[in-house]
Structure formats: C-alpha cells, structure tokens
Amino acid sequence: MRRRFEQDYSDWARGRGTWPMRISLQPPTTAERSTDPIACHDWADQWSAYLGPGTVDYQKRALPHRHPPHAAHPRA
C-alpha cells in the first residue's frame, strides 16, 4: 500500500487518478470454502466487525443470508 501511495499521490493531490484506493480482500476460493467452511465464515465475520478507517464492500451473491466482503477502501 505504501508503494501505491507513493506512486499515485501526486495524481491524487491534483484530483486525478483513482481515489479512494480499492484493495482486494481476496475472498476464499471455492476449494477453500469446501475444505474449511468454518474458517471462511470466521474470515467474513472478522471483516463484518471491521471498525477501522474506510469502508468494506460486500458481494451480493454467495451464501444465503451472507454477503462476503471483497474489497476495502482505506481512508486517510
């Protein structure tokens, strides 16, 4: 993230480029969900409880009553 900030800061400061920064959370794969579904639920629950700066985006698919996180948008 530091490298990305240093690389893009001058564009962001001028109102160009892509901001806010989007960071893929790399959700568990289908194989990982099949192998260890409890760990995958724990991973999603941790992101659901995230109280840090920025926001977390959730996918509108997947499991009934669950929308897994897929990206974070940190805030300065």
pLDDT tens-digit series, residues 1-19: 788 888 888 888 888 877 7
Tokens of 73: 């948008």
What confidence tier does 66 reach under pLDDT thresholds 50, 70, 90?
low
Q: Give the Cα separation of 63 and 30 in Å (integer).
A: 12
pLDDT tens-digit series, residues 19-64: 777 888 888 888 998 999 999 989 989 988 988 888 898 877 655 5
Q: Give the Cα separation of 74 and 4 in Å (integer).
A: 12
Mapping DSSP onto H, E and C, the string for the chain reads: CHHHHHHHHHHHHCCCCCCCCCEECCCCCHHHHHHCHHHHHHHHHHHHCCCCCCEEEECCCCCCCCCCEEEEECCC
